[in-house]
Amino acid sequence: MGTTATPAFSADTLRRGVEGHSAADLLSLYADDAQIRIVDRNTQPSKPKILRGREEIGALLEDIFSRDMTHKVDQCVVEGDHAAYSQSCRYSDGTRVQTESMITLRDGRITDELLIQAWDE
């Protein structure tokens, strides 16, 4: 019985997951024990929203990718066990969202992500 290898994190795999509008593809880049800390107008730096584990992260990604919007990775830099990327999104009504993420990797998987996001009011 063969096993299917999950892709390791790279700028290309990130871009395919984000721009391919696939929660499952993007979720495959996260470790089982991954954590995302989200800072935005509703969850300030002193009390970020924290998602722990693939189940909580997967629910967020499913919600995001269920929306009528486009996603584009603007830049991604990978250096050793760290990465950073910026993403621009646009809802069908023209509302824009910009995100910046700092990532820690372990064995080619995301273990920690700090995501800062801002959107049109």
Please report which residue ranges of the chain form alpha helices under DSSP H.
Answer: 11-19, 23-27, 53-65
Residue 84, pLDDT above cutoff 60: yes
Read off the pLDDT of residues 3-24 as tens digits, 9 standing for 90 and up: 455 668 999 999 999 999 889 9
Q: Taking the alpha carbons of 72, 74, 77, 83 in that order, is the dihedral positive or negative?
A: negative
Map tokens 């696939």 to a residue: 22
Query: Considering only CA atoms, which of 107, 86, 88 is closest in space to residue 34?
Result: 107
Residue 2, pLDDT above cutoff 80: no
Q: Determine how many CB atoms are found less than 10 A away from the CB of residue 80.
A: 6
Amino acid 121: pLDDT = 82
